[in-house]
């Protein structure tokens, strides 16, 4: 059995890098279906000759970092992909800063024979939280002892604010007072329960048509989850996880099929270069992030050469 793979892209800048990514996906996966949600309000694509295989979502959604608009953008692209006559069995959700780093046939084989519906970095977000002694936690990443408590405060706990007016800033502001974390009390203010758990993790994932339909389904539970995450910060690290991980018949792998280097600390992963290529290839990840074409094409060329050589 051979899995068909399509790509859902979310972008807002760097059109030259987006074009390089698109062309490589077309070459590597032999003209796969590609739907891109590009935020045209932030960056025009004029002057860039994108291949006809790429469908752009129109009208676009104005996206904002840290808001639900990122999730709405890739959901809009998924809906467009589902309407296509060549709708694939699998959807890989990528940003413009991602890049394929494994032969297409190896990816197809794993998706077809792996026995999973979703490949998504995920964990249960609950409080109090006890680290798993079998896991080697990293200092800076989603796989950190500090991330789940942070996610709990973001997605489950109730922040208490004091409304104020700042004469210095000449606008209303909110002064943080405390965070309500009691499991009993927060249950009155969010949709989570013993049967609807909160999950979170890295926001980039691959899923099959069955899982796509569950994510896009219009039902009372999904509407309640959507309404909740409209009021939360960085919902793309929890919104799709919560919907999908609460589907009892979906098989979800936590296998990290993205290579991401958090070794430099801070809120953003390392921008990868040629020195990272051996580690990227050794990881057997499907994709890696993040890259910056402005730093040169050498890392892209090195990855392409290694992947093409392994594909022969």
Would you kindly state where each structural domain of the chain is located, as residue ranges? 5-126+197-311
Q: What does the pLDDT read at residue 185?
A: 85
Q: What sign does the CA torsion over 199, 125, 146, 189 have?
A: positive
The residues with which 199 forms a beta bridge, in sequence order, are 124
Q: Render pLDDT for 247-257 as a digit per residue (tens, 0 to 9).
A: 999 999 988 79
Measure the CA angle with vertex 102, ends 96 and 103; round to 5°. 115
- Determine the distance from the C-alpha atom of residue 48 to the mean position of all C-alpha atoms in its chain, rounded to a whole number: 25
- The region that residue 122 occupies, defined by phi over 0 for left and psi between -120 and 50 for alpha, beta otherwise, is beta
Q: Render pLDDT for 183-202 as a digit per residue (tens, 0 to 9).
A: 888 888 899 999 999 999 99
Top CATH class of 5-126+197-311 equals: alpha beta
Please give the span between the terminal C-alpha atoms of the chain, in angstroms, as a whole number.
Answer: 20
Q: What does the pLDDT read at residue 59?
A: 96
Q: Give CA–CA dist 289/262, Å, rounded.
A: 11
Q: What does the pLDDT read at residue 181?
A: 85
Q: What are phi and psi of 158, to 5 degrees?
A: -110, 110
pTM beyond 0.85: the answer is: yes
Q: What does the pLDDT read at residue 53?
A: 87
pLDDT < 50 regions, the chain: none
Q: Give CA–CA dist 51/215, Å, rounded.
A: 28
């Amino acid at each position: 059995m051979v899995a068909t793979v399509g790509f859902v892209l979310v972008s807002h800048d760097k059109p030259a890098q987006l074009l390089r990514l698109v062309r490589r996906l077309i070459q590597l996966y032999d003209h796969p279906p590609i739907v891109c949600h590009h935020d045209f309000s932030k960056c025009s694509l004029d002057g860039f000759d994108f291949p006809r295989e790429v469908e752009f979502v129109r009208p676009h959604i104005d996206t904002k970092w840290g808001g639900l608009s990122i999730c709405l953008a890739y959901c809009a692209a998924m809906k467009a992909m589902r309407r296509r006559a060549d709708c694939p069995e699998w959807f890989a959700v990528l940003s413009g800063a991602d890049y394929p780093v494994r032969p297409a046939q190896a990816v197809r084989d794993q998706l077809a024979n792996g026995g999973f519906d979703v490949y998504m970095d995920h964990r249960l977000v609950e409080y109090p939280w006890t680290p798993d002694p079998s896991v080697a936690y990293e200092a800076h990443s989603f796989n950190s002892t500090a991330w789940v408590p942070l996610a709990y405060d973001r997605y489950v706990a109730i922040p208490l604010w004091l409304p104020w007016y700042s004469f210095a800033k000449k606008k209303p502001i909110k002064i943080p007072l405390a965070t309500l974390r009691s499991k009993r009390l927060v249950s009155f203010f969010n949709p989570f329960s013993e049967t609807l758990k909160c999950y979170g993790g890295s926001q980039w994932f691959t899923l099959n048509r069955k899982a796509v339909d569950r994510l896009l389904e219009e039902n009372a539970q999904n509407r309640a989850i959507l309404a909740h995450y409209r009021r939360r910060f960085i919902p793309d690290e929890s919104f799709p996880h919560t919907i999908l991980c609460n589907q009892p018949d979906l098989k979800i792998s936590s296998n990290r099929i993205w290579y991401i280097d958090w070794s430099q600390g801070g809120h953003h992963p390392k921008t990868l270069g040629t020195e990272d290529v051996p580690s990227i290839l050794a990881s057997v990840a499907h994709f890696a992030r993040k890259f910056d074409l402005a730093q040169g094409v050498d890392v892209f060329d090195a990855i392409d050469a290694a992947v093409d050589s392994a594909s022969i």
